[in-house]
Amino acid sequence: MEIEGNFNTVEYRSGALRLIDQRRLPAEESYVECRSAGEVAEAIRAMTVRGAPAIGVAAAYGMAMAVGRSAHLGPEAQIAVLDEAAAVLSGARPTAVNLFWAIRRMREAAEASEFAGEKLAEELLELAHEIHRDDIATCRLIGDHGAALLSPETSLLTHCNAGGLATAGYGTAGGVIRSGFREGKVSRVFVDETRPFLQGARLTAWELSRDGIPVVLITDNMAAYCMRLGKIGAVVVGADRIAANGDVANKVGTYGLAVLAREHKIPFYVAAPMSTIDMDTPSGDEIPIEERPPEEVRRIGDTLIAPEKVEVFNPAFDVTPAGLVDALITERGLVRLAEGESVGSLYP
């Protein structure tokens, strides 16, 4: 499979799912192998693999591996193993809807299949490959639609990592950056470090540097001043779940950037595949927001930076109201949410 940037975020080979270990980047480029749905669920929970589309693709392979490992059982027992895998994978992280979307697709395909045993395992593995391939193609379309919004030589700001590492390759916001840079629309990218897990500093800065795209790393609290100084021409971020009314859950800190962008009259764009839209969730108020362990805030890496027992609030995501999103960029095209266009317009 053709992947941009010389690394494979997710790769299935010889019965195992190989994941680039995103906890260790950029210091070390190492890989983790998962051989069961339980191991994939643990990799998602521990953020070895992260980013909404990437965890969806990984979960699809987790489901395929569960069916493969139970091919010797009878049809009913095989479906029971699949249901168990679905439950374990669904419990890994709550916010990114791509996870549940991929699990449901795999489960429905098994239900609809005329096969059982090895044949069913082959069919589901092929579907996981299809979800993988489609994600790359989707990101390229998102990249092209997003680049069309930018004026030449725009200086962008992004948050967290919505690049090749967060997807099967190319990226959503990262795709807009890549396509835009190739077309001369992007001069450089300001990257928020993205406390506490530092996806911006560790992952986005690494990815963009590898692509030769000029990066300026800032701490999260510098974004407002950069906007005030006129250094930012547009903000582009990814999403973990978009509710039916257009509210966007993404990495905590996104909402603050959207408010700042509006204050400074800077366009704020969200790039995401259709699989991130959850029409069953009416608004951002109903999106489950993951809370992560307090140690992520009390420490940077292994270093304690706060009193050992200080109370911590560590939501991994926040919700940006649709009205602050100038355009939602999908593979099917744009939705100008701030102008009142609706997410429903993407569905024929």
Task: Return the closest-CA partner of residue 55 out of 94, 27, 4, 25.
Answer: 94
| Whether 220 is catalytic | no
CA Rg, the chain, in Å? 20
Question: Please, which of residues 309-328 interact with ligand MRU by CB under 6 A?
Answer: 316
> How many other CB atoms are there within 10 angstroms of residue 87's CB atom?
12
Return the DSSP state at 233.
Answer: S
Selected range binding ligand MRU among 111-119, 147-155, 164-172, 300-308, rule: CB under 6 A = 164-172
Question: Residue type for 159, please?
Answer: H
Site string for ligand MRU, 115-154 (x = CB under 6 A): ----------------------------------------
Please select the residue that binds ligand MRU; options are 32, 166, 232, 266, rule is CB under 6 A.
166
Q: Write down the least CB distance from residue 171 to ligand MRU, Å.
A: 6
Identify the bridge partners of residue 317 per DSSP, sorted by sequence position. 251
State whether the Cα torsion 34-36-39-43 is positive or negative.
positive
When the beta carbons of 98 and 154 are compared against ligand MRU, the nearer one is 98
Return the DSSP state at 36.
Answer: S
Selected range binding ligand MRU among 9-17, 23-31, 232-240, 281-289, rule: CB under 6 A = 232-240
Question: Residue type for 294, please?
Answer: P
Asked if 250 interacts with ligand MRU (CB under 6 A), we say: yes
Which residue sits closest to ligand MRU, CB atoms considered? Answer: 238
Asked if 240 interacts with ligand MRU (CB under 6 A), we say: yes
Question: Please, which of residues 38-67 interact with ligand MRU by CB under 6 A?
Answer: 50-53
In the chain, the N- to C-terminal Cα span, in Å, equals 30
When the beta carbons of 82 and 160 are compared against ligand MRU, the nearer one is 160
Block residue for tokens 């919700």 = 319
Cα-based angle 19, 22, 27 (whole degrees, multiple of 5): 120
Selected range binding ligand MRU among 4-12, 33-41, 161-169, 205-213, rule: CB under 6 A = 161-169
When the beta carbons of 70 and 281 are compared against ligand MRU, the nearer one is 281
Asked if 239 interacts with ligand MRU (CB under 6 A), we say: yes
Identified catalytic residue from 240, 247, 278, 326? 240
User: What ranges in the chain are assigned the alpha helix state H?
Assistant: 37-45, 52-69, 75-90, 97-112, 117-147, 173-182, 199, 205-210, 223-228, 254-263, 295-298
Residues marked active site are found at 240
The contact set with ligand MRU (CB under 6 A) reads 50-53, 96, 160, 162, 166-167, 172, 199, 238-240, 250-251, 316
